[in-house]
Structure 1
Amino acid sequence: MHRRHLLAAAAVLPAGIARAQPAAAAWPNQPVRLVVPFAAGGPTDIPARLFAEEVGKLLPQRVIVENRTGAGVVVGSEVVAQAPKDGHTLLYSTIAHSVMRALFPRLPFDPITDFQPVALLGVIPMVLLVNKDLPARSLPELVALLRANPGRYDYGSSGIGGAVHLATELLLKRAGDLKANHIPYRGSAAGMPDLLSGRLAMFMDVAAGGLTYAQRGDARALGISAAARLPQAPDIPTFAEGGVANAESYTWHMIFAPAGTPAPVIQAVNAAFNRAAAEESVQRRLGDLTMTLRHDTTPETATRWLADETAKWETIIRDAGIRVD
């Protein structure tokens, strides 16, 4: 039924558009390659494969995930930047796309001008964890502790310039330019033992992973970086509720196409991914990962989201002096 609906929607394109863009009307006329610039089996790859499977059910062609890692997300992104502008090679990326320009001044492409945002698929908030013996049982108490002891406490992250690192720096800045020492790890799982043992005072993590430690009582959760409390953790306040305004942050998932891809193709890709995001099974499975899905975004709203995120994070990167060696 979904495939018939999608094909029917394509059939009602104005005749002038269909004549002007014959390739667009035929999209897809070959398998669609979804490039994921992250490792297979990771937290980005799992949702990407779910979307590829669901979108493939809606189309007359398969959607094939291709993991292309290297230099952060640069290698995989370059594959898409140089691909034909026909909608058959797409990029599945995250907040990493909005910080590349600030972290890597010499890129083989421009993350803004060489890509067309197609659809913002969903957002995942962060949870702020502290060691359970830290003398701070709430976000206001933590802010007071850090303010009274500038540079005394350490926080961990899953890597320099990643979503977790940036979210922590945003929180520190919005709380009054608080000072804490950053200790990067190769992924959150590598750093959590140091939080639990007391080597680290705090660690921000994506909610799906961090909530596990809080719910087991291994660490204390002081806040959520979302605009509203999570259904999975209704007792954990947002940062705003904890007295720190404008510290909302997410790792988000977005579909990109090469810049210059015909508008009717962009609209067709957007419609397919929006329809997949609206599927109850997708909502349920990604909801378990604390992802809030967006199934009504347009290329225009995705473009504005990317512009806002790029401006926000480039400011944080500059002010915090974040560098990738």
Structure 2
Amino acid sequence: MIARRALLAGMAAAGLAPAFALTASAQAPAWPDRPVRLVVPYAAGGPTDAVARILAERLSNALPQRVVVENRAGGGALPGTENIARAPKDGSALLFTTVVHAVHRALHGSRLTFDPGADFAPVALIGVVPQVIMVPPESPVRDMPGLLQFLRSGQHAYGSSGAGGSSHLGVELLKGMTGVRAEHIPYRGTAPAVADLLAGRVALVMDSVATGAAQVRGGALRGIATTGARRSSALPDLPTVAETVPGFEATTWNAVLAPAGTPAPVVSAISAAIWSALADEGVQARLAGLGVEVPPPEERNPEMAGRFIAAETAKWERLVQDAGIRVE
């Protein structure tokens, strides 16, 4: 009850009438009086699912409605995404997605059954998540200059979580910016790619710090650099790739989207509810532990989320085209 009162007060201070509390006489429609589905287009237990469940838990404590995470994994995140594109436009169903949303159009083209831009309304960018480049402990590579030299010295391969995923796109960006060569070996997820990294079958893997940081800190793998614009709080002793390759940045991210056509007051109310729910310092610490870097307060609104996703889409679509990336 205290959380809900704080939420309502925060939204009132921001000049936003909470859509879920509007009366029938109000101009804007209310949120539905049934559980809200938060669709994650990945399997349960992964880093994206973990962040979504933190959000759902906090929102369920603050709102009259319960927020339920619904995992619709597989198919390159397409089935879960399509489900929300076709969902009611009333705030009862939301998509919790990642950087993969920015490359759907470039990877699948006319095969898509939805438009990643036109069929969705940005609600909130929860945060960006840097990745970490990892090599086996016995690798001769110990830093970024050494990695670039190593990749130029012969034929080497890298593993990824699959074609078009953040771990694939990040290495391809590095190749494009530096001219190094490395063969791409796609896997069905990061775990089997890391298993082959440990076995010496691939030379490197780029993985989200949400899962890779523990392996680096524990000594199972050697961290070379993180991929954000600044050093990651999860691995503060590692330099960024950009300290060697200026301008390099290859992060994944978590964003909440609604079906296009959802009334603007509802979208604004959902956004305000999300940021009120995530304001707790304990929640911020949990997100930081997963490598999530939340945007500054002035960027916590639907407009800024939309701008961010548009910029990411332009960036990664260009890379997909230049690198000739294809999916089967």
TM > 0.5 between the two? yes
Distance 1:111 1:177, change over 3 A: same
Structure 2 Cα separation of the partners of residues 136 and 205 of structure 1: 17
Distance 1:21 1:270, change over 3 A: farther
Please, which of 303, 314, 319 is the counterpart of residue 322 of structure 2?
319
Query: Would you say the 8 A contact 1:31–1:88 is kept in 2?
Result: yes
**What letter corresponds to residue 107 of structure 2 in structure 1?**
L
Following superposition, the deviation at residue 145 of structure 1 comes to 2.6
Query: Would you say the 8 A contact 1:91–1:255 is kept in 2?
Result: yes
SS in 1 for 2:8: helix
User: What percentage of residue pairs aligned between the two structures are identical?
Assistant: 51
Structure 1 Cα separation of the partners of residues 48 and 65 of structure 2: 23
- Structure 2 counterpart of 1:187: 189
- Structure 1 counterpart of 2:116: 111
Please, which of 161, 164, 167 is the counterpart of residue 161 of structure 1?
164
**Structure 1 spans left out of the alignment, 5+ residues:** none
Q: Which residues in structure 2 correspond to 1:117-136 (within 5 Å)? A: 117-136=122-141
Q: Which residues in structure 2 correspond to 1:54-69 (within 5 Å)? A: 54-69=58-73
Structure 2 Cα separation of the partners of residues 215 and 61 of structure 1: 40
**What letter corresponds to residue 62 of structure 1 in structure 2?**
R
Structure 1 Cα separation of the partners of residues 257 and 117 of structure 2: 10
Q: Deviations over 1:266-301 (max 9, x none)?
A: 110000111122222221222221112237311110
SS in 2 for 1:194: helix
Query: Would you say the 8 A contact 1:80–1:91 is kept in 2?
Result: yes
- Structure 2 counterpart of 1:266: 267
Q: Deviations over 1:13-41 (max 9, x none)?
A: 58xxx799947453353321111111122
Question: Does 2:101 correspond to 1:101?
Answer: no
- Structure 1 counterpart of 2:6: 5
Following superposition, the deviation at residue 102 of structure 1 comes to 0.9
Structure 2 Cα separation of the partners of residues 156 and 76 of structure 1: 25
Please, which of 89, 93, 111 is the counterpart of residue 89 of structure 1?
93
Structure 1 Cα separation of the partners of residues 296 and 67 of structure 2: 19
Following superposition, the deviation at residue 177 of structure 1 comes to 2.3
Structure 2 Cα separation of the partners of residues 295 and 277 of structure 1: 13
SS in 2 for 1:203: strand
Structure 2 Cα separation of the partners of residues 160 and 141 of structure 1: 26
Following superposition, the deviation at residue 186 of structure 1 comes to 1.4
- After TM superposition, the score normalised by the length of structure 2 is 0.90
Query: Would you say the 8 A contact 1:10–1:25 is kept in 2?
Result: no
What RMSD in Å do the two structures reach over aligned CA positions? 2.2
SS in 2 for 1:117: strand
After superposing the two structures, state which structure 1 stretch, 51-60 or 28-37, moved more: 28-37
Q: Deviations over 1:143-184 (max 9, x none)?
A: 1232343xx01111111111111111112212x222110111
Question: Does 2:307 correspond to 1:299?
Answer: no
Question: Does 2:140 correspond to 1:138?
Answer: no
Distance 1:76 1:23, change over 3 A: farther
Question: Does 2:200 correspond to 1:198?
Answer: yes
Query: Would you say the 8 A contact 2:41–2:72 is kept in 1?
Result: yes
- After TM superposition, the score normalised by the length of structure 1 is 0.91
SS in 1 for 2:126: strand
Question: Does 2:75 correspond to 1:71?
Answer: yes
- Structure 2 counterpart of 1:207: 209
After the TM superposition, list the runs of 4 or more consecutive aligned residues in structure 1 that deviate by more than 6 angstroms: 18-21
Query: Would you say the 8 A contact 1:10–1:268 is kept in 2?
Result: no
Count residues with an aligned counterpart.
318
**What letter corresponds to residue 225 of structure 1 in structure 2?**
T
Question: Does 2:311 correspond to 1:308?
Answer: yes
Distance 1:138 1:116, change over 3 A: same
